[in-house]
Amino acid sequence: MTNSTQFSHFRLAFLNIGIFKYLFFMLVMCFFISVVCTNVLLIVVICVNRSLHEPMYMFLCSLFVNALYGSTSLIPLLLLHIICDINIISASLCYLQIYCIHCYGSAEYLNLAVMSYDRYLAICFPLQYNTYMTPKRIAILIAITWLYAILACALMISLSSTLPLCGNIIDKVYCDNYSVIKLACSGTKALNIYGIIIVLCTICCPLIFMLYTYIKILRVCSSGSKQVRQKAVTTCSPHLACVLNFSCGACFEILQSRFNMSGVPILLRIFLSLYWLISQPLLNPLVYGLNMTKIRILCKNLLTLRPLN
């Protein structure tokens, strides 16, 4: 019978890049500063300007908050590992990172699904939009998004942290739940079933729902006026770009976790595993901030110390 234990620490993949670690550190640091500055700027603009207290901008604010949360759960610790040449992480910190990263991914998909519902109502039912999308409903939708992610990931961690492990080496630069499960000696059946349920509820259902809303929107646009089509393109293009980008990143992560990628260069594997965590927090502000004229003007006014109202 294989010996099992509860390890006090885990060993992550080591970034053996020699003297280039300082360049890599600066690149990651610049990326993190950009993510924090752009997302905080947009959150402040939306919160302090009353003209942006509309459903679409409230959902965007939730998306930007999640981007800050997700990037903070990964990048500071990654920077520490790079500059100090360490790849050891305590078990408690590892499970905390797993919780934060998976909570970020769940909240991101649900936020995008809620935003597609908002666009569906705005384009397909413009006259009844304000009746459907009341402040109370907005608050409920945002609360459900975050509560589901928090509770679902909390249950997942409670199951993972009690597994008897036969090793403590994780083949990634950050802690991942499936990587920990692969180290387990036994008792993974309940977690595998729960993982399938989470994937269905968190990824498959939101994607099917978003596909449904876009089919409805396309039908309305095909029979609508030029103004309706233009409105649909303007409001749906940024959302669609973010959905496709995040889905591709999640697909890279799932493929790398489930299949043997030893034939792929280590740096490429690291990039693919980080892509879904680092691309979205920077893409969201660029896509929405630069694409929406109203937000772009207000950001410019805030940076130049002009009144926002």
The residues spanned by each domain of the chain are 9-303
Report the pLDDT value the prediction gives residue 1, as an integer from 0 to 100: 43
pLDDT surpasses 50 at 271: yes
The per-residue DSSP string of 38-97 comes to HHHHHHHHHHH-GGG-SHHHHHHHHHHHHHHHHHHTTHHHHHHHHHHT--EEEHHHHHHH
Q: pLDDT higher for 289 or 36?
A: 36
Assess whether pLDDT exceeds 70 at residue 190: yes
In this predicted structure, what is the pLDDT of residue 6? 67
What average pLDDT does this structure show over 50-61? 87
- What value, to the nearest 5°, has the Cα angle with vertex 180 and ends 174 and 182? 125
Q: Which of 266, 309, 291, 73 is nearest to 176 (CA)?
A: 73
With beta carbons less than 8 A apart as the criterion, state whether 205 and 47 touch.
no
What does the mean pLDDT of the chain come to? Answer: 84
CA 298 to CA 294: how far, in whole Å?
Answer: 6
The CATH class that applies to domain 9-303 reads: mainly alpha
The predicted model gives 297-306 an average pLDDT of: 66
CB 165 within 8 A of CB 11: no
- Is the pLDDT higher at 225 or at 37? 37
Token pair for 2: 């294989």
Averaged over 261-284, what is the pLDDT? 79
Q: Phi/psi of residue 182, each to 5°?
A: -65, -20
The pLDDT of residue 122 is above 60: yes
What local confidence, expressed as pLDDT, does residue 141 receive? 94
pLDDT at 4: 53
What pLDDT was estimated at residue 51? 79
Lowest-confidence segment of 18-27, 206-215, 219-228 by average pLDDT = 219-228
- Report the distance separating Cα 218 and Cα 222, nearest Å: 6
- Residues 142-189 have pLDDT tens digits of 999 999 999 999 999 998 888 888 888 888 888 888 888 888 887 778
Q: Supply the pTM of this predicted model.
A: 0.88
Which two tokens mark 285? 């502000």
144, two tokens: 């459900």
Q: Which tokens in the block code for residue 240?
A: 């669609």
Residue pLDDT, tens place only, 13-34? 766 667 778 888 898 899 899 8
